[in-house]
Amino acid sequence: MKIQSEKDQIFNLRKFVLYVPILIFTLLIISCNSASDNNNNTSAVSPNTIRSSEVQKASLDSVVRWLLDASAKDFNDHQPPIPIGFRNVQIRHLIAPNSEKMYIICGQFLAHDKEQKDKWIPFATVKTSGYEQWIGSQSLTYCQDSKVISYKIYDLSSALKSRVDSLRRLQELPK
């Protein structure tokens, strides 16, 4: 009998030695998950917010590229005046009467006129269902009423200039 009880004790001890680490491990995992959940709940930036801002940046990048391309094409297609430089070109937005956000590129271009005088002329390229490009005093209404958008490139002048120059070079290629 004594041998049987010693075997039972050894068996029970092994069971104890086996279950204690499993119990400790389980408690550790539960406490880590609980702390992680608490951190996620108190965090100001959630994964959904990060994804949303990344989508907004990608969307804004495509709007900026589209407006730069449309503006360059318009400058290239409707000359004179021939733009020889750009300055203060910024992405902006305006809230339309239907509460829709309208994106605009506002800036100035340097035009070389027939009298050999260089002058800076304001312009605005507005993203509508297509686009509208306004030159001169007509553009000022859009640009004065709009708000600058914080974008990774503050002044888009060189980006617009390079697009206009590329279109001009393509036209000059022999056909």
Per-residue model confidence (pLDDT) at position 92? 93
Q: Tell me the per-residue pLDDT of 128-153, one tens digit each, with 9 for 90 and over.
A: 888 899 999 889 988 998 999 988 88
Q: Tell me the per-residue pLDDT of 47-75, one tens digit each, with 9 for 90 and over.
A: 333 344 444 666 888 899 999 999 999 98
Between these two residues, 126 and 173, which has the higher pLDDT value?
126
- In three-state form (DSSP H/G/I as H, E/B as E, the rest C), the secondary structure along the chain is CHHHHHHHHHHHHHHHHHHHHHHHHHHHHHHHHHHHHHHHHHCCCCHHHHHHHHHHHHHHHHHHHHHHHHHHHHHHHCCCCCEEEEEEEEEEEEECCCCCEEEEEEEEEEEECCCCCEEEEEEEEEECCCEEEEECHHHHHHHHHCEECCCCCCCCHHHHHHHHHHHHHHHHCCC
Q: What are the Cα distances from residue 46, in Å, to 5, 52, 105, 154?
A: 58, 10, 32, 28
> Global pTM?
0.63
Per-residue model confidence (pLDDT) at position 64? 93
Predicted confidence (pLDDT) at residue 173 exceeds the cutoff of 90: no
Between these two residues, 118 and 88, which has the higher pLDDT value?
88
Tell me what percent of the residues of the chain surpass a pLDDT of 90: 30
Per-residue model confidence (pLDDT) at position 114? 66
Per-residue model confidence (pLDDT) at position 48? 39
* The 118-127 sheet, strands edge to edge: 131-135, 118-127, 101-112, 83-95, 147-148
